[in-house]
Amino acid sequence: MGVVEKIKEIEEEMARTQKNKATEYHLGLLKAKLARYRAQLLEPASKSGPAGVGFDVQKSGDARVALIGFALRFLDDSISEPSLSFPSVGKSTLLSKTTHTASEVASYEFTTLTAIPGVIEYQGARIQLLDLPGIVEGASQGRGRGRQVVSTAKTADLILIMLDATKSEEQRRLLEIELDAVGIRLNKHKPDIVFKRRTTGGITFNSTVKLTQTDEKTIRTILAGYKLHNCDVMIREDITTDDFIDVLIGTRKYIPCLYVYNKIDSISLEQMDKLARTPNTIVISCEMDLNLDYLIERMWAELALVKVYTKKRGAHPDLSDPICLRKGATIEDVCNGVHRSLAPNFRYGLVWWGKSSKFSPHAQKVSLQHQVQDEDVVSRSMIELNGQSRMKATSI
Ligand SMILES: Nc1nc2c(ncn2[C@@H]2O[C@H](COP(=O)(O)OP(=O)(O)OP(=O)(O)O)[C@@H](O)[C@H]2O)c(=O)[nH]1
Ligand SMILES: [K+]
Ligand SMILES: [Mg+2]
């Protein structure tokens, strides 16, 4: 029996099993098994082809955003052959409108057959927007180019799930299922669980909060299912059984996501209003240029990029050319942004006039691990010193 069949069998058994206290442990075991098979499905060496490998597109710029949407075939049941008269959701149209890259747009499905990168320039940041082929249901199990598409999505800092405002709501939930199946968790943070494997000592289990959605026995059952007999488990939030399995498997990606409904030019105001009020949702029309600026603004906010200015000795900060970093970035990342060779020889940096400097507006000496904040000014001469001359350092 192939992995896909095994997965199906477990899913069926889970659907048959009534959910109650008595079956909880058994269901936990089934979930663990299911997760393991799904992981297998994505392993590169599996029989079913080059799985888990995304499109070969170089990451560039300060962040990557991936466009995911269904192909038309899926959106309209009445179509069984590749259709020449019905359009898809408009991913390529969005790329062509927001970047200098043209991606072929056409009124038939599967127009885009590979990953096409474009660049959005905003607030001094360069955001890579990846146009991807439309996927069909079952993509995560290898249908169409689906697995390549969802694997590429895994490399993104933000996912835009692009939806056709004129089609049924079902598309959204089904896309979420496809992404979930490959280990992408949308708009979720990594569960606060500390898990350590040991070689001896049995299992120690601790939780700092009351668990209302799972319990120690279920977790021990799962650990046994994975043949983990020696480990420390410390749970620090009210997690579910699935959260625990995610941390155990360890390859999950927690990625923010925006739901983008395109073609609002073709629906009523009432319908549009309802969609726009849904959380994490933006309504646009690529064709009529509606709300595209707002979409980019929201993308920027979701990416939570931090802009850091550098300042040469005796000069004003260079406000025209900030370094953009992910939230939580450190002085070391700034060094890498200025020049790769700087960090290894680095002694300390100066944060000038920044929000993250305690003594603002004066300069503050900080270590390589110091976290920078948006609009910090980092003294460039200090970075460029890179440990060669202490004299120069103290004279700044
Ligand atoms: N009414 C309307 N049509 C649009 C809009 N945006 C795009 N379209 C049309 O939708 C069709 C499909 O657009 P594409 O950009 O090729 O869609 P895609 O999602 O890239 O499609 P595939 O690459 O085939 O998966 C084209 O005929 C576009 O003109 C919009 O805002 N409103
Ligand atoms: K198309
Ligand atoms: Mg396309």
**What per-residue confidence (pLDDT) applies to 389?**
36
Which sign does the torsion angle of CA 47, 48, 49, 52 carry?
negative
Ligand 3 center to 145 CA (angstroms): 13
Atom of ligand 1 nearest to the CA of 162: 19
CA 104 / ligand 3 centre spacing (Å)? 6
Ligand 1 pocket test, pick from 89, 93, 131, 148 with the greatest ligand atom count within 8 Å of Cβ, gives 93
Q: How many CB atoms lie within 10 A of CB 194?
A: 11
Backbone phi and psi for residue 181, each to the nearest 5 degrees, phi listed first: -65, -25
3-state secondary structure of 295: helix
Q: How far is CA 122 from CA 128, 141, 300, in A?
A: 11, 36, 8
Mutate which of 55, 84, 89, 268 for ligand 1 pocket (most atoms within 8 A of beta carbon): 89
Residue 262 alpha carbon, nearest atom of ligand 1 = 31
Would the ipTM clear 0.95, i.e. be above it? yes
Q: Tens digit of pLDDT for each residue in 356-372?
A: 665 555 667 777 788 88
Nearest alpha carbon to residue 67 among 178, 176, 160: 160
If DSSP codes are grouped into helix, strand and coil, which group holds residue 390?
helix
For the chain, where are the alpha helices, taking DSSP H only? 3-16, 24-41, 72-75, 91-98, 146-153, 170-181, 216-225, 241-249, 269-276, 292-303, 331-338, 380-385, 390-394
User: Token digits for 307?
Assistant: 């802009």
Give the per-residue pLDDT at 381. Answer: 61
Q: How many A from CA of 109 to the centre of ligand 2?
A: 5
Distance 103 CA to ligand 2 centre (A): 10
pLDDT of residue 182: 83
Please report how the helices 91-98 and 292-303 are oriented relative to each other, as an axis angle in degrees rounded to 10: 90
The packing angle between helices 241-249 and 24-41, to 10°, is 40
Name all residues whose Cβ lies below 6 A of ligand 1. 69, 71, 87-93, 105-107, 109-112, 133-134, 262-263, 265-266, 285-287
Please report where in the chains the tokens 């790769």 appear, as a residue.
340
- Spell out the domains of the chain, with CATH numbers in brackets: 3-41+191-251 (no CATH), 63-188+254-301 (3.40.50.300), 305-394 (3.10.20.30)
Q: How far is the CA of 86 from the centre of ligand 1 (A)?
A: 9
Write down the pLDDT at residue 329: 86
In order, the DSSP letters of 254-276 are: EE-EEEEEE-GGGS-HHHHHHHH
CA of 304 relative to ligand 2 center, distance in Å: 31
The number of the ligand 1 atom at minimal distance from the alpha carbon of 104 is: 16
The answer to whether 203 touches 220, Cβ cutoff 8 Å, is yes
| Digit-coded pLDDT (tens) for 277-307 | 999 999 999 999 999 999 999 999 999 888 8
Describe the chain by its helix, strand, coil percentages, rounded to 5. Answer: 35, 20, 45
Q: Which stretches in the chain have pLDDT values below 50?
A: 44-51, 74-86, 385-396
Neighbours of ion ligand 2 (CB under 5 A): 88, 106, 111
| Residue 358: per-residue pLDDT | 56
